């Protein structure tokens, strides 16, 4: 069987930067906490925890003092920085530059809207780390829109800025902007803040999915980006399967298939896709079950 890994899949720049900072800091010795999963991929989190990274939640963070804490690519609200400063916590800030710029834009827009009794609307997943960081720039006064049902929270008679979580669907964002714009009686400023490293993967995934008899998508179960990109693949190739580790491969999927494509999300490490490819190839050559 021909097995091909999509060479454009895998970590985006923001994730690479965060993991590099974690590894470099751990190499120097000492204890390093990470506020939340460094990446939404359980296998990569386990790898880093094995070399010393300690993953903590927000509740635990606000009990710490005199230590080092890594901030992942998703970004953090102002309260995180304020607490760290007051409690002698050294922050290893790995916020993605794209997210950091977006935070600054949201903060500036919020100040403008405060003067005009306006609104900040963020298209994103409620509770997602990036959205929490963005909402923090508005003193948690943003209107978070996850789907059409949330549009009832938007006041069409007030001016508004519309931003997006960087990893959302470009098509869905423009569709949402159109629906809000149709009802607005005041000025709506639409800011397309979707990361092109993510958005540009959609046409690539569509193309790659059609090139193989079977598609294996490797991603973390917590990853919004993985779920979104897998859906793109599934629409193009019904023989697409989502797995988080090589152990989840099913031999029945490959019966009668001549080529297999392997791809992943912006949070999927290359080494994990390689392990999946290796398991498929070894099993195929030995004609045994997974």
Residue 212 gets the label, from left (phi > 0), alpha (psi -120 to 50) or beta, of beta
Alpha-carbon span 285 to 279, nearest angstrom: 10
CA neighbor of 216 nearest in space, from 201, 198, 203, 229? 229
Burial code (b: 16+ CB inside 10 Å, e: under 16) for 160-198 equals bbbbbbbbbbeeebeebbeebeeebeeebebbebbbebb
Identical fold for domains 2-10+198-286 and 98-196, yes or no, is: yes
CA dihedral 39, 11, 18, 103 (to 10 degrees): -80
Spatial separation of the C-alpha atoms in residues 219 and 85, rounded to whole Å: 35
Class (C level, CATH) for 13-95: alpha beta
Give pLDDT, residue 285: 63
Q: What is the distance between the alpha carbons of residues 207 and 145, in angstroms, rounded to a whole number?
A: 30
Tens of pLDDT along the chain (290 residues)? 899 999 999 999 999 999 999 999 999 988 999 999 999 999 999 999 999 999 999 999 999 999 999 999 999 999 999 999 999 999 999 999 999 999 999 999 999 999 999 999 999 999 999 999 999 999 999 999 999 899 999 999 999 999 999 989 899 999 999 999 999 999 999 999 999 888 889 999 999 999 999 999 999 998 888 998 999 999 999 999 999 999 999 999 999 999 999 999 999 999 999 999 999 988 766 555 65
The topology (CATH level 3) of 98-196 is: Cobalt-precorrin-4 Transmethylase; domain 1 (3.40.1010)
Cβ–Cβ under 8 Å, residues 73 and 93: no
Tell which phi-psi region holds residue 145, choosing left (phi > 0), alpha (psi between -120 and 50) or beta: beta
Q: Indicate which residue of 23, 44, 130, 148 is catalytic.
A: 130
Distance CA(85)–CA(80), nearest Å, equals: 9
Distance between CA 108 and CA 6 in Å, rounded?
39
CATH class for the region spanning 2-10+198-286: alpha beta
For residue 130, indicate whether it is catalytic: yes
Q: Nearest Cα to 208, choosing from 288, 152, 263, 132?
A: 263
Residue 222's pLDDT is: 86
Pick from 216, 266, 225: nearest CA to 245: 216
Domain ranges of the chain: 2-10+198-286, 13-95, 98-196
């Amino acid at each position: 069987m021909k097995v091909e890994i999509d060479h454009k899949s895998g970590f985006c720049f923001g994730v690479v930067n965060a993991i590099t900072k974690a590894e470099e800091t751990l190499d120097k010795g000492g204890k390093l906490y990470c506020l939340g999963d460094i990446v939404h991929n359980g296998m990569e989190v386990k790898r880093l925890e094995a070399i010393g990274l300690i993953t903590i939640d927000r509740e635990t963070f606000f009990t710490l003092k005199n230590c080092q804490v890594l901030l992942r690519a998703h970004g953090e609200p102002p309260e995180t920085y304020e607490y760290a400063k007051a409690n002698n916590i050294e922050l290893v800030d790995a916020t993605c530059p794209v997210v950091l710029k977006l935070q600054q834009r949201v903060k500036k827009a919020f100040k403008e809207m405060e003067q005009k009794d306006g609104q900040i609307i963020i298209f994103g997943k409620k509770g997602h780390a990036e959205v929490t960081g963005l909402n923090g720039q508005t003193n948690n006064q943003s209107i978070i829109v996850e789907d059409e049902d949330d549009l009832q929270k938007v006041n069409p008679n007030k001016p508004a800025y519309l931003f997006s979580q960087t990893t959302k669907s470009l098509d869905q964002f423009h569709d949402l902007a159109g629906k809000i714009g149709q009802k607005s009686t005041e000025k709506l400023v639409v800011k397309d803040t979707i990361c092109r490293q993510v958005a540009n993967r959609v046409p690539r995934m569509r193309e790659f999915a059609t090139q193989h008899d079977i598609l294996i998508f490797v991603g973390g179960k917590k990853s919004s980006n993985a779920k979104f990109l897998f859906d793109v693949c599934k629409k193009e190739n019904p023989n697409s399967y989502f797995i988080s580790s090589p152990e989840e491969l099913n031999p029945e999927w490959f019966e009668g298939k001549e080529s297999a494509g392997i791809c992943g999300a912006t949070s999927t490490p290359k080494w994990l896709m390689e392990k999946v490819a290796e398991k498929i190839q070894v099993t195929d050559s030995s004609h045994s079950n997974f």
